[in-house]
């Protein structure tokens, strides 16, 4: 081995400098996440009543995925993204409650192997603008996980104008310090994101933009208001309910903000050397359009976990391509680290794969086996997808679906394909045992 390396070094040393390939330039990375938006709420995913030209431009200039998965709620998706691992390993399976509750004292532990930390170790400036949702205490903060800069809020939702949480407390931070800034939250996220790009245009950066749009409270832009009941979730049968048009206005304002961020990259001459990824944190709520999927946020039915995802990287990924490669949030982590050429220590134990070779067509699509679990109160749902087959466990019921023919999960094949159920059910059991054992061991070691 040493002799081979010596020969290789000698050969390289005699190649004329002009003939040597220049080192690959590390791209900037901008990851954009919207909140509680339905699978079918974008023009590029079939929406007819929503105008999303900025997001659609990413699909026109990049690769749009049809079979990409998040978790059923925001906290678990974000935990999987930042850690690159299944969120169950950290007991972050459902949305964190408010900071005044006992469970609100928990969060995602900073291991030193998070996505922003590994990028920071590799010379990247790192910023998070918007929603965090992975813990309120300083040891769970964005800065603790490797973000150089944080501007945003830590709770699951926020009054768009007053910037207060579900307890009516102010929830707007710049790094670790509470701040008071006037403005519509969507616009503040956009403006701070543009400033981060302008401030770091000369060196590689990673910017995560996490809009709260179009999560409740359904406060439309340009009409300042105070959200009723500390921004509580309004049910569809209530008299003061939101409308689909309110939701559209909120989402379209986020799309306009995304357009301004893309313009900032172009103005700085960074658009061709920036990997832009758009995704959502879970399926949409009742005002959303999840078609053609069934059910919504808070379930492991497709409408709760399958979300849009778009990758744009000019010169590296084809334009206007639609990919049926199955992916999951942890793959975004792995893909960003691969694009940034960031070393990943074995101790990080990543569970995602680099999707970029499949998206650019250099590698054939690969079959995946992905697991999902959502437990809240007495409700528990499980699912595994292997290839096009999905086994879904909803309470005492088992369902088998062939997603290649039935994306809407309307044709239960359990009575015809018991062989699929018998093959997949043990996989779920083994996965549960694995993640729960690690979660228990991690919890015991930190007490």
Give the pLDDT score at 236.
Answer: 87
Determine the Cα–Cα distance for residues 364 and 74; give it in Å rounded to an integer: 31
Residue pair 277/332 in contact by the 8 Å Cβ criterion: yes
263 secondary structure, DSSP code? H
User: In Å, how far are 119, 313, 354 from 26, measured between CA atoms?
Assistant: 11, 12, 16
419's CB contacts (< 8 A; 6+ apart) are none
Ordered per-residue pLDDT tens for the chain, 447 residues: 433 333 333 333 333 444 444 456 799 999 999 999 999 999 999 999 999 999 999 999 999 999 999 999 999 999 999 999 999 999 999 999 988 888 888 999 999 999 999 999 999 999 999 999 999 999 999 999 999 999 999 999 999 999 999 999 999 999 999 999 999 999 999 999 999 999 999 999 999 999 999 999 999 999 999 998 999 888 888 867 789 999 999 999 999 999 999 999 999 999 999 999 999 999 999 999 999 999 999 999 999 999 999 999 999 999 999 999 999 999 999 999 999 999 999 999 999 999 999 999 989 999 999 999 999 888 899 999 999 999 999 999 999 999 999 999 999 999 999 999 999 999 999 999 999 999 999 876 554
Determine the Cα–Cα distance for residues 374 and 150; give it in Å rounded to an integer: 29
Alpha helices (H) along 84-214: 115-121, 185-199
- Least Cα distance to 261 among 173, 172, 195 occurs for 195
Residue pair 303/294 in contact by the 8 Å Cβ criterion: yes
User: In Å, how far are 34, 35, 50, 310, 339 from 55, measured between CA atoms?
Assistant: 11, 14, 11, 8, 21
3-class DSSP assignment, residue 129? strand
pLDDT digits (tens, 9 = 90+) for 56-98: 999 999 999 999 999 999 999 999 999 999 999 999 999 999 8
Give the pLDDT score at 25.
Answer: 78
Angle (CA) 210-214-217 rounded to 5° is 110
User: In Å, how far are 43, 51, 60, 108, 252 from 46, measured between CA atoms?
Assistant: 5, 11, 14, 35, 15
Determine the Cα–Cα distance for residues 435 and 447; give it in Å rounded to an integer: 19
Residue pair 220/250 in contact by the 8 Å Cβ criterion: yes
What does pTM read for this prediction? Answer: 0.93
Q: Residue 425 CB: number of other CB atoms within 10 A?
A: 15
Residue whose structure tokens are 């000369």? 202
Residue whose structure tokens are 């105070």? 226
């Amino acid at each position: 081995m040493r002799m081979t390396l010596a020969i290789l070094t000698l050969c390289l040393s005699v190649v004329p400098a002009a003939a040597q390939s220049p080192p690959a330039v590390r791209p900037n990375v901008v990851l954009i996440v919207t909140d509680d938006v339905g699978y079918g709420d974008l023009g590029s995913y079939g929406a007819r009543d929503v105008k999303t030209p900025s997001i659609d431009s990413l699909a026109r200039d990049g690769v749009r995925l049809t079979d990409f998965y998040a978790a059923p709620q925001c906290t678990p998706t974000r935990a999987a993204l930042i850690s690159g691992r299944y969120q169950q390993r950290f007991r972050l399976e459902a949305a964190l409650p408010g900071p005044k509750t006992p469970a609100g004292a928990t969060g995602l532990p900073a291991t030193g192997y998070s996505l922003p930390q590994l990028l920071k170790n590799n010379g990247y400036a790192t910023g998070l603008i918007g929603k965090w949702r992975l813990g309120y205490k300083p040891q769970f903060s964005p800065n603790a996980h490797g973000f150089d800069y944080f501007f945003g809020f830590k709770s699951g939702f926020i009054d768009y104008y007053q910037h207060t949480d579900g307890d009516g407390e102010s929830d707007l931070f710049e790094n670790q310090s509470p701040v008071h800034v006037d403005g519509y939250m969507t616009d503040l996220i956009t403006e701070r994101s543009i400033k981060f790009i302008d401030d770091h245009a000369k060196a590689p950066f990673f910017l995560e933009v996490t809009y709260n749009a179009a999560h409740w409270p359904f406060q439309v832009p340009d009409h300042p208001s105070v959200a009723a009941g500390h921004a509580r979730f309004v049910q569809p049968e209530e008299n003061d309910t939101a409308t689909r048009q309110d939701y559209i206005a909120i989402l379209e304002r986020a799309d306009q903000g995304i357009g301004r961020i893309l313009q900032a990259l172009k103005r700085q001459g960074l658009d061709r050397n920036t990997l832009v990824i758009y995704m959502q944190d879970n399926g949409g709520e009742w005002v959303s359009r999840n078609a053609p999927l069934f059910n919504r946020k808070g379930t492991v039915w497709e409408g709760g976990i399958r979300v849009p995802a778009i990758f744009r990287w000019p010169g590296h990924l084809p334009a206007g391509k639609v990919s049926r490669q199955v992916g999951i949030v942890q793959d975004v982590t792995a893909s960003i680290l691969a694009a940034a050429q960031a070393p990943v220590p074995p101790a990080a134990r990543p569970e995602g794969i680099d999707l970029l070779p499949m998206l650019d067509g250099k590698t054939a699509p690969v079959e995946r086996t992905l697991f999902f679990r959502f437990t809240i109160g007495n409700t528990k749902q499980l699912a595994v997808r292997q290839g096009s087959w999905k086994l879904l466990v909803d309470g005492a019921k088992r369902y088998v679906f062939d997603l290649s023919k039935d994306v809407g999960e309307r044709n239960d094949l359990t009575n015809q394909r018991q062989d699929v159920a018998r093959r997949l059910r043990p996989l779920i059991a083994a996965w549960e045992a694995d993640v729960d054992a690690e979660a228990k061991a991690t919890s015991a070691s930190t007490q």
